[in-house]
Amino acid sequence: MKINEAIEHVKPHLTKERFEHTLRVQETAANLAKLYNESKEKTELAAIFHDYAKYRPLDEMERWIVESRLPKDLLHYHHELWHGPVAAILIEKEYGIKDNDIQCAIAYHTTGRAHMGKLEQIIFLADYIEPGRSFPGVEEVREMAKKDLIHACLMASRNTIQFLMHKNATIYPDTFHAYNDLTRMNR
Ligand code: DGI
Ligand code: FE
Ligand code: FE
Ligand code: FE
């Protein structure tokens, strides 16, 4: 699928703010792809569709999790974790995008996981550092992103876990698996 075509498909499903976030993730991810030798086309497609399912009704997302190959334990965690995995299924069903790298990058963009591929790392990081984000510590992660992709992902993962623990949120196992794996790789 062409990049412009993908943008037109995604646009009506998002709010104006979310669409603008998506375009910033696309640009941020494309820059990382160039820096770290990843396919520009795959990176941009994954970025454009990463939040595609963000505004689907909860009962529809729940149905996709129950009826597809997605992990059922998602249903025991916050529904904020559902939109990535569901989008990975939807783009295959609706647009025939059946590319494991793209689908994994979308599915795991919120949590990360152990043994992320380069495209997964790029989307995970781009979503965190795109210029519209203002998390505490994000500027340090932006600086690290220019030098060391894995270390920057680790910083993003650590910040997210600290943020979640501060609000007494439950934490999905893949969120911890990402942190542990990135920590081991960063040694
Ligand atoms: O969709 P976006 O807002 O662009 O960003 P996202 O998909 O990366 O994250 C959505 C939210 O999910 C964000 O506030 C952090 C949160 N999150 C990430 N990992 C976990 C989590 N929330 C819970 N409860 N548990 C997690 O493991
Ligand atoms: Fe998201
Ligand atoms: Fe994220
Ligand atoms: Fe996002």
CA of 22 to the centre of ligand 4 (A): 6
ipTM of the prediction greater than 0.85, yes or no: yes
Q: Residue 86 in contact with residue 56, Cβ under 8 Å?
A: yes
Please say if the pLDDT value at position 187 is more than 90: no
What's the pLDDT tens digit per position in 69-84?
Answer: 999 999 999 999 999 9
What's the pLDDT tens digit per position in 33-62?
Answer: 999 999 999 999 999 999 999 999 999 999
Cβ neighbours for 50, distance < 8 A, ≥ 6 positions apart:
22, 25, 84, 87, 105, 106, 109, 123, 127
Neighbours of 76 (CB within 10 A): 8
Alpha-carbon distance of 177 to 43, in angstroms, equals 23
Letter string b/e over residues 86-117, b meaning 16 or more CB atoms within 10 A of that residue's CB: bbbbbbeeeeebeeebbbbbbbbbbbbbeebe
Q: Residue 29 in contact with residue 47, Cβ under 8 Å?
A: yes
Pocket of ligand 1 (CB under 6 A): 21, 51, 54, 78, 80-81, 109-111, 127, 160, 164, 169-172, 175
Three-class SS of residue 99?
coil
**Domains of the chain listed by start with CATH number:** 3-134 (1.10.3210.10)
- pTM for the structure as a whole: 0.97
Ion ligand 4 residue ranges (Cβ < 5 Å): 51, 127
What's the pLDDT tens digit per position in 115-168?
Answer: 999 999 999 999 999 999 999 999 999 999 999 999 999 999 999 999 999 999
